[in-house]
Structure formats: C-alpha cells, structure tokens
Amino acid sequence: MTLDLFEPDAPSMEPLAPGAVVLRRFACRHDAALLAAVQAVTARAPFRHLVTPGGFTMSVAMSNCGALGWVSDRTGYRYDPIDPDSGRAWPSMPAAFAALAAQAAAEAGFDGFVPDACLVNRYLPGTRLSLHQDRDERDLGQPIVSVSLGLPAVFQFGSPTRSDRPRRVPLAHGDVVVWGGPARLNFHGVLPLKEGEHPMLGASRINLTFRKAG
C-alpha cells in the first residue's frame, strides 16, 4: 500500500456530487498524444468565436471533432454534422480521444460510453464561460466527460437551479471530470482564466468535452 503523501502526482478520484466525479490527473500520461490530436483537429477545423442567439460573441474559442459538432448562431444552439465555416464534415474523433473518454466514464461507473461529439474549447487569459446548462444532447441519461489541459481554471459547479450559488472547483492540467446521473443538468461555468504560463500550452487552457449528442 502506497500512501498519497509519497506519490503526489498519482491519479486520484474525488466525488463532487451524486453523479459527478473528478479524476485528478487522469489524462496526464496521455497529454502529449492528446495535444497532438488537438493540433490535428484544429488544423482542419480552426478555433472560432461563436455568436450566441442573443448576439453576443463568446470569449471561448471553439472547434469540434466527431460525427457531430456543437454550434451556436443567431438561430440557436444545435449539434450539426457540418462545420459551418468550411461546409465540410468535422474532423473524425481521434482514437486517443474516444479511448480516454470511455476509460474515464467507466471509472465513474458509466460503462459503454461511446461519444459522437467532442467540443474543443480554448481559453486565453480573461476568457470565461458564463453559467449555463448542457441540454442540447438527445439522451440526458448519457454522461459528459471533460478533460482539462494547460493553465488551471476555477470551475463553477451549481445545482439544477440557476439561482443557487455555485461551488468553486479548481481544475488543473490532466484533470478529468465525469458528469452524469443527477448532476447532468446542473448549472456550471468557468471563471475568467488567470494569466500564467504552462510548460506545454503556454498562456492557454484547452478543455475537451465528450458527449453522446445524437
């Protein structure tokens, strides 16, 4: 039996709420492969700032891979098989992405998770994501797996009611969170990213969210 005290960089599991668990550092040993895959995806589907139905330009820059991609414009939010910027299908989901997402979901008790959409979010210092629910997916019984890479961020984790004050959860490079069950419709967001320098990602944070959208 090895005590955590002797292995501060080892992965660990931290329950957040019923249906939500943080797998600390779960993706660290795959970070180089994941970042190479992000480069390949965003070379074909470059990061862009989407506009909300209300007419605001999002500060997060986004791309997608997989059969479906999440998009927003003046007409609303949707999952679309076509990248509206290129008129072509989104890049396919890299094998390393799908494998990591399925392993993390299984670790959290969701066996057989097969994502068909991966939203790639890029944060630079000052970028934030305001409190929202993820409810555009067809089957809300399916979990969402999120992978944080690069600079640390403060995640806001609320309840299914917008007015409840959210908790602050720090998320660092390699942390993976699985959200499902009773936590699936909880409000959440990301506070403005602080300045900093990450050895692999410089002054940026990348978040991957894996979904079974269709």
User: Scanning residues 150 to 209, which ones bind ligand MD3 (CB under 6 A)?
Assistant: 177, 179, 183-184, 186, 188, 190, 207, 209
Looking at residue 95, its amino acid is: A
Please, what sign has the CA dihedral across residues 76, 81, 87, 89? positive
Q: Say which DSSP state 145 is in.
A: E
Partnered with residue 24 across adjacent β-strands are 12
Helix axes 31-44, 95-107, angle to 10 degrees: 130
Residue among 63, 64, 121, 156 that touches ligand MD3 (CB under 6 A): 121
d(CA 140, CA 208): 18
* Size of residue set near ligand MD3 by CB under 6 A: 15
Q: Binding to Fe ion by residue 137, rule CB under 5 A?
A: no
Binding status of residue 210 toward ligand MD3 by CB under 6 A: no
Q: Which is nearer to ligand MD3, 27 or 119 (CB)?
A: 119
Using CB under 5 A, which of the segments 7-15, 28-36, 87-95, 131-139 binds Fe ion?
131-139
Among 83, 134, 137, 175, interactor with Fe ion by CB under 5 A: 134
Q: Residue 86 CB: number of other CB atoms within 10 A?
A: 11
64 forms part of the interface with ligand MD3 (CB under 6 A): no
Q: Minimal CA–CA distance to 205: which of 131, 159, 147, 135?
A: 147
Residues that bind ligand MD3 (CB under 6 A): 119, 121, 129, 134, 144, 146, 177, 179, 183-184, 186, 188, 190, 207, 209
Residues that bind Fe ion (CB under 5 A): 134
